[in-house]
Each structure stands twice: as C-alpha cells, then as structure tokens.
Amino acid sequence: MAQPVEISFTSTTTEGLAERTGRVAILVGENGRLPGGLPRLARSAATRALASDAWKDVKPGSALELAFPAGMEAEALQLINLPRRAEVTEARKAGAAIGARLGKSGATVLAGNHPRAQEVALGIALRAYDFDAYKTRKSDGDAEAEARTRGRVTFMHDDPDAMARAATEGAAVAEAVLFTRDLVNEPANVLTTSDFADRLLAMRELGLDVEVLDEDALGKLGMRALLAVGQGSESPSKVVVMRWNGGGDEAPLALVGKGVVFDTGGISIKPAAGMEEMTMDMGGAGVVAGVMRALALRRARANVVGLVGLVENMPDGKAQRPGDIVRSMKGDTIEVINTDAEGRLVLADVLWYAQERFKPRAVIDLATLTGAVIVALGHDNAGVFANDDALASTLLNAAKAEGEGAWRLPLGQPYDNLIKSRLADMKNSGGRSAGSITAAQFLQRFIGKDVPWAHIDIAGVALPPGETTLAPKGATGWGVMTLNRLVRDNYELPPETSPFSKKMKKG
Ligand code: BES
Ligand code: MN
Ligand code: ZN
C-alpha cells in the first residue's frame, strides 16, 4: 500500500512561521488579504506578487510561487487563489497544486477560516499519492522516514478542531481512492485473483461483510460464461461479494465490477505493444472495492452490495476458443466470436447473480470494457449507458459535482441486432462499429426488465496516459468519488433511523 501523506491541523499562530521548512501555502480569498505573522520581507514580496499582472492570470485553484522567500526558512511560498465560495473542484485543484510539489520536508497551509479548507486537504491527499512500492531505495536507518517520499502537511486553521471534523469524510474518501489506485497499479504477478480476493477479505475489519465464491461454487451456480474466461489461467476464478448494511431494511444498490487481473486477449491474443497495460483490466472491480471501503470508513447509512468477478484471460491448451458456445447463468447461450471480448462474459454472470440474489433497487456496473470508448471519448470522460433516465442523470450529476468526466451514450434495438448469432442466442462481439454500444447491449441482455441499470465503461479514464488534476501518471481511481456521492445524495437514510446512530446512543 502506498503511504498516504499525513495531514494534521493546528491553530493559526503567527509564531514560528519564519522557521517552517518545506513549503508554505497561503489560501488567498477574493479580498486578497495576507495572514498575519509573515516575516516582513516575505510579506512585502507577497504583497507585490498579489498586485502584479501575473496574479491576475492565476485562476481559482491555481498558484503563484515565490521561491526561497527572504527572511523565511521555507523553500517556497505558494500563493493560492481560492475565493471563499470557490467550487469544490477548484478547492481540490488548489490542494493538488500543493500536493504535486510536496517534498520530503512537507508543507504548511495557512488556511485562516477558509470554508473550503477541507476540500484543499482532500486535493493534497489525492495528488500527493505516489505508487513507489517497487522502487528499491537504499535503507540507511530510519525505515519510516525512508518510506516517506513526501513530508507531513500541517494546516493552520482558526478552528482546527472544526476543520479536523470537517475533513474526516474527505480522509475516508481519499483512503478509498488510494486503495483503488493501488489495486489498479499493481502488476498481475502480484495482484492475482487470489491476492485480490484476500485484499477484499481484509476489509472485514472495517465491518464489511465479505464472501468469496470459488470455482466449485460458481460452477454450481451455472456461471459458465465467467468460468470460460478463466479456464486458461493457473489462477482460479472467483466472485467476491462485499456487503455494507447501514440502511435498515431497504433493498440494496448493487455495484458490479469487471475484475480481469490480466487480459492477454486469450486465444484471440492482443498485439505485444501496450499489452502490459492490461494489468488495469480489473479497474471496474477496483472502483467497486474502493466505494465499499469509503462507505465502511464513513459508516454510510445505506445498503450497498458490491460484487466483483475476478478472472485472468490467458491463452492455453485449456483456454476457450473462438467459436465456442457457452451457456450463461441466466440460461442464454453465447457464441464466443472473440476471446478478447471477455469482460462482458464475466459481467453477464455476475450481473445476473446480483439481481437473482439481492433483488437490488438499481444496478451500476463499472468495467474497462472496450477500446472503442477511448476512440469515442478519449481519456477525459467515461462512457455511461443506462436503461433509466433518472438513474443516468443522478449518476451524471454526481460525476459532475466530483469533477469526474462522464458522458452518456445511446442504447437501442438497431445496436442489439448487431450481436445476433447464427448458432446461439447471441454472440460476444458485434464487430468494429459502435463497439462500446454493442458491448453495453450485450450487458443489457442480462438485466431484468424493470431493474434500473447503468453501465460505465471506464477503459479511458482508469489509467490515462498522463497525469490528471488530482492524480500523478498512473491509476486515477475514477468513479470512487462519484459513486460515494451518488450513494450519499440518493440512497442514504436520514441520520435518526441509522442503526449506527441508535447503537451509539445506547452505548
Ligand atoms: N480490456 C479490453 C478493453 C480495453 C482496451 C481496456 C484498452 C483498456 C484499454 C477488453 O477486454 C477488450 O479487449 N475489448 C475488445 C473488444 C473486441 C474484441 C470486441 C476491444 O475493445 O478491442
Ligand atoms: Mn479483452
Ligand atoms: Zn478486458
């Protein structure tokens, strides 16, 4: 697990500012006022900076930097433009400006009584992430300090206790996003199906109910489509069910994730160039796991069940072939035209199982499902499909509020016609045209008639080619924040009826 940056809160003090090492960041509101306690020379430099033309070009959430300010031990003074009513996304971006440049000697943030300070803290935590588990370092003594490439962050705030309270939800969300990023960044020789299942089982200690179904159990359930994908791998296929029951008797929201720990394409093998990226093909499962972690950490007053299908898609003497016909748990037969269209085979069975067993209020699946969604939307928007307009807009609104790009794409009978098979009930590939849509049509065949359902194709956003506002190059954890908000704003009970608040009153 990558080490998260440590963030603490102390009261605003004018003493000792000159002696702070590392970086000192100031949240500058629309009144342009500087906090007290800045050493005289640094203060006059900062005052000039705020009066300059350069400052006029600094947008909300961005920073102007003064290097090695006179009279201070800090290596830099960061002036951050953050109006008091800045958008949440702007405040997180401001945090990212601090987190991206955070060195070993840490940072001090002068937050005053800024109402968006806790969002700044979240931005720091997300952007200061660094997956360096496999970078060998010389160990010369202090192992803990050695393990930290990023120093501590101290917020000076007029009411540090209130800020610490306000920041707890953000801390839960940050931990969850980092958990997802770690999973997605891990290589496939480490994150096998069994290792993945073990990491999910470990979340029992957070109060999640976690159950692992092995190949025997999956066989008895009739999940032949899922099992066919994994049958060429040495790693056993698994389905993991994670339950968070914070919502009384309500039917749960079901989240379903594609967890292909490595996708070679199988017998329809992928070209060598770029194949190493297919360690991220478990990204949907990673997001589902991260959301469940967030819900547990913040003890959400909602019932949510997360299901992930963990398989590895390998070429082998036992692997499935193009032309094979498999029967899904639902009972429909599938002609496997292309063994590289494996994600939909996995999801078909897990989606069906989720509905049969849990009778959910709604189902949302996440998957790095198609290269075609990258052709359509690039790396800035996930593709959203839904059979229900209300669920779609709920999802798009949550994504917008969290600053995670999402764009709806259509479904419809003409697209469904493209996956009709001569031999079976359907085929698993509709060819090149509308590749993301035909994949979604395939999934929709495994959704009950009256079940509100959304499918999110995250192939482009799970591991974009460069850094993003809130993440360094590598896994983003796209979707954890969106789905956490979707649950919070739409599926949670009022506080009084929470089983947890009852427990707390008694105890
Ligand atoms: N895992 C891939 C999709 C993918 C591509 C994810 C690039 C992330 C980055 C998926 O299993 C796949 O191979 N899809 C095929 C489907 C085709 C064979 C119908 C694709 O997109 O080419
Ligand atoms: Mn594939
Ligand atoms: Zn895949």
Q: Is 407 exposed, middle or buried (0-12, 13-18, 19+ CB in 10 A)?
A: middle
The pLDDT of residue 348 is above 90: yes
Q: Ligand 3 centre from 312 Cα, in Å?
A: 9
The pLDDT of residue 471 is above 80: yes
If one compares 144 and 239, the residue with the highest pLDDT of the two is: 239
Contact status, residue 328 vs residue 275, Cβ threshold 8 Å? no
pLDDT score for 138: 60
The pLDDT of residue 503 is above 70: no
pLDDT tens-digit series, residues 381-414: 999 999 999 999 999 999 999 999 999 999 999 9
Output the CA–CA distances (angstroms, integers) from residue 117 to 103, 160, 413, in the order listed. Answer: 21, 10, 49
CA 252 – CA 305 distance, rounded (Å): 6
Closest CA to 417 of 387, 446, 445, 376: 445
Output the CA–CA distances (angstroms, integers) from residue 472 to 24, 468, 475, in the order listed. Answer: 22, 6, 8
**Fold entry, domain 7-161:** Leucine Aminopeptidase, subunit E; domain 1 (3.40.220)
Contact status, residue 181 vs residue 287, Cβ threshold 8 Å? no
CB neighbourhood size of 222 (10 A): 17
pLDDT tens-digit series, residues 365-381: 999 999 999 999 999 99
Q: Ligand 2 centre from 72 Cα, in Å?
A: 55
Contact status, residue 121 vs residue 155, Cβ threshold 8 Å? yes
Domain spans of the chain, in order of start: 7-161, 171-496
Structure tokens at 408: 């709806």
DSSP conformation class of 6: P
pLDDT tens-digit series, residues 25-49: 999 999 999 998 899 999 999 999 9
* Mean pLDDT along residues 253-266: 99
CB neighbourhood size of 410 (10 A): 10
- Does the annotation flag 30 for ligand binding? no
Closest CA to 284 of 327, 224, 346: 346
Amino acid (1-letter code) at residue 381: N
Q: What percent of the chain has pLDDT over 90?
A: 92
Protein residues with CB under 6 Å of any ligand 1 atom: 263, 281, 338, 340-343, 368, 370-372, 429, 435, 459
What are the residues facing 156 on neighbouring strands?
10, 110
Closest CA to 250 of 291, 206, 300, 203: 300
DSSP conformation class of 484: H
Of the listed ranges 137-141, 243-247, 268-272, the least confidently predicted one is 137-141
pTM beyond cutoff 0.85: yes
End-to-end CA distance of the chain: 34
Residues 6 or more apart whose Cβ sits within 8 Å of residue 112: 12, 27, 29, 35, 157, 158
Across the chain, what does the average pLDDT equal?
A: 95
Q: Determine the atom of ligand 1 nearest the C-alpha atom of 343.
A: 11
**Is residue 427 among the annotated active site residues?**
no
Q: DSSP letter string over 183-251?
A: HHHS-TTTS-HHHHHHHHHGGGGGT-EEEEE-HHHHHHHT-HHHHHHHTTSSSPPEEEEEEEE-STTPP
* Mean pLDDT along residues 297-318: 98
* Mean pLDDT along residues 414-422: 98
**Is residue 505 among the annotated active site residues?**
no
CA 255 – CA 246 distance, rounded (Å): 16
Contact status, residue 368 vs residue 359, Cβ threshold 8 Å? no
CA 29 – CA 37 distance, rounded (Å): 17
What CATH number is given for 171-496 in this structure?
3.40.630.10
Q: Which of 340, 379, 426 to mutate to test the pocket of ligand 1 (most atoms within 8 A of CB)?
A: 340
Segment 432-436 long-range contacts (CB within 8 Å, at least 24 positions apart):
432/372, 434/372, 435/370, 435/371, 435/372, 435/373, 435/375, 436/369, 436/370, 436/372, 436/373, 436/376, 436/383, 436/409
* Mean pLDDT along residues 65-83: 97
In the set 270, 327, 361, 408, the catalytic residue is 270
